[in-house]
Amino acid sequence: MQTFPLVFHASPDQTIAWRDGAPVSVREFLADVRTLAAALPEGGHVFNVCTDRYRFTVSLCATLVAGKTSLLPSTHTPDMVRALASFAPDAFCLHDHDDCAIDLPRFRYPERAPACADGETQVPHIDGARVVAYVFTSGSTGAPVPHRKTWGFLVKNVRAAAARLNLLGEAHATLIGTVPPQHMYGFESTVLLALLGGLAFSNRQPFYPVDIRAELDAVPEPRVLVSSPIHLRALFANDEALPRASLVLSATAPLSEKLALDAEARLQAPLMEIYGSTETGQIATRRTARTAAWELFPDIMLTPRADDSNEPTMWASGGHVEVPVPMGDALELIDGAHFLLHGRKADLINIAGKRTSLAYLNHQLNAVPGVVDGVFYMPDESPSDSEPVRRLLALVVAPELAAADLQRALRERIDAAFMPRPLLFVDSLPRNATGKLPREVLTKLIDTERNRRAALTFTVPPGHPALAGHFPGRPIVPGVVLLDHALDAIGVALGQRFDACRIESAKFLSPAKPGETLDIAYETAASGAIRFTIRAGERAVASGALATSSTTNVTDKHTS
């Protein structure tokens, strides 16, 4: 039986954590682990939802020492909790908030007990074959799929990562994570990396830029910032000076070269991007500011062969990967140690015989100056679809950017076949704590936006009575009809009636044909004045401005 220590620190007096700015020694940490392990209730499976990283880590170790197994799902939704209860009927929820509403038997993390930390500290050794946790991912049917993680697998994986990042032996380095410890990346890189690499970690999870800056200031150098592209992008949104880091880690979503360069310049530290999967753990890294190629960990191999559906697939094996695992990404081998990542296989799309990936399109969208955040979306196929070709759409947060300007910028970056139709401007995207956009959440947002904007699209049928005489043999929609539709549609969108309003200006820029789909975009100023534009595709048909009889404090921007 091969065993591994619970912590790899050289001395019991070494700092293993910073708790609200105060150092915690290995000796104190292990005392807290022993105290909590003795207090845990019956039940062999523990759903650890502690938000404080120190409490989460103590709970993880106490669960292990007590002979129990942790459950680490990707979400905490009621459906997921029911799935956990079905998978492990003896599970209970270990939490650190009084308002926890998880529908399982609950046990609150106790207030810090007066644990005895005197004398020699015996570091527990854990059987490498012990199952530490089940990590859950969404299966193809939507049902969560458990992935077993043994202590030996985790030790070998995380020690290999620490060696690749030159963190082994960096006894004074402190990990600061903007990602939650329950997520696989946060679990590996903020919790296990500290325990198994002999490092320290901060208990806080800063989210907003001001909090990240404060936390970097709160712990001594050297500091390692463990983050994600969405958090880094927000952190660099202004030019305020940032405390120096010794290393920056990023994962959960593709990172652009520009953002990597910004991170290295602003934090005065190299940025390493981490690649892996729930099934394999971390298997490769790259310094994104310098190269597009990923470098595999020593002893890890990628081998091309067909999967169960006879599709060509890269399989990862060797090193800490206990059995060969098919990768869900499109990978291109450069040599035995390096590869290129072309995105998720499920993200690869083919429109009109042209191929690209959603990851590439998202990169191009977010690289447009003025875009704060954005994402492309490919609707699911439906047997009732009337269009023979599915159309991409995109949601974008760009408060200072006009739709026409963004479309022009995208045409310079992507093929016309992949231009989004429609392009929806939103106030924000519903990213989760790791910066990801779950498809089901994105789909709900798109449905909401489409329903809200439906009134802003209209068609004047060829049989409309106003077309008579405009003009025989080549009819066009009269300007008064365009204005009438604009007033009705904007009124519905704003929940107002425009029975009494003044059209301050109106310009008719190109003819609109009967049956042509027309879209209305509008802006509402604080004074109540409304500027609008009517378009047929990308062609401007009419524009104007309205002055309403009552003022409004709404400041909004919409486009279809």
The pair of structure tokens assigned to 20 is: 């609200």
In a domain, 429, yes or no: yes
In a domain, 392, yes or no: yes
Do residues 192 and 75 both lie within one domain? yes
What's residue 120's pLDDT?
A: 56
Do residues 125 and 9 both lie within one domain? yes
Tell me which H or E stretch contains 80: helix 78-87
Do residues 528 and 420 both lie within one domain? no
Do residues 71 and 118 both lie within one domain? yes
Do residues 497 and 520 both lie within one domain? yes
Whether the per-residue pLDDT at 436 is higher than 90: the answer is no
CATH number for the domain including 470?
3.10.129.10
Do residues 190 and 71 both lie within one domain? yes
The CA distance from 180 to 184, in Å, is: 9
**Residue (of 140, 138, 132) closest to 73 by Cα position:** 138
Per-residue pLDDT tens digits for 453-485: 655 788 898 888 888 777 877 889 999 999 988
In a domain, 511, yes or no: yes
CATH number for the domain including 135?
3.40.50.12780
The CA distance from 486 to 541, in Å, is: 12
What's residue 558's pLDDT?
A: 46
In a domain, 442, yes or no: no
Q: Choose one of 437, 469, 489: the last residue of a domain.
A: 437
Do residues 357 and 342 both lie within one domain? no
| Lowest-confidence pick of 68-72, 265-269, 315-319, 494-498 | 494-498
Q: Count the domains in the chain.
A: 4
Do residues 115 and 178 both lie within one domain? yes
Q: Print burial letters for 283-309: b (CB count within 10 Å at least 16), e (below 16).
A: bbbbebbeeebbbbbeebbbeeeeeee
Query: Is the backbone peptide bond immediately before 89 cis, with ω within 30 degrees of 0?
Result: no
Do residues 183 and 252 both lie within one domain? yes
Mean pLDDT of 355-359: 79
Per-residue pLDDT tens digits for 521-560: 877 655 667 888 898 887 889 998 888 654 433 334 444 4
Taking the complete model, does pTM exceed 0.85, yes or no?
A: no
In a domain, 446, yes or no: no
In a domain, 448, yes or no: no
Q: Choose one of 245, 261, 291: the last residue of a domain.
A: 291
Q: Which residues contact 253 (CB under 8 A, 6 or more apart)?
A: 228, 229, 230, 435, 436
Whether the per-residue pLDDT at 344 is higher than 70: the answer is yes
Q: Choose one of 404, 437, 470: the last residue of a domain.
A: 437
Do residues 274 and 297 both lie within one domain? no
Do residues 213 and 130 both lie within one domain? yes
**Residue (of 247, 198, 204, 202) closest to 222 by Cα position:** 247
Per-residue pLDDT tens digits for 273-302: 999 998 999 999 999 999 999 999 999 999
Task: Tell me the HSE value of 358 on the side-chain side, using a 13 A CA sphere.
Answer: 21
Contact between residue 418 and residue 364 where contact means Cβ atoms under 8 Å apart:
no
**Domain encompassing residue 516:** 457-558
CATH number for the domain including 360?
3.30.300.30
DSSP-derived pairing of the beta strands 125-127 and 3-5: antiparallel
Do residues 281 and 307 both lie within one domain? no
The pair of structure tokens assigned to 549 is: 């009889």
Q: What is the mean pLDDT of the chain?
A: 87
Whether the per-residue pLDDT at 342 is higher than 80: the answer is yes
Q: Residue 550 burial by CB count (10 A; 0-12/13-18/19+): exposed, middle or buried?
A: exposed
Mean pLDDT of 174-193: 94
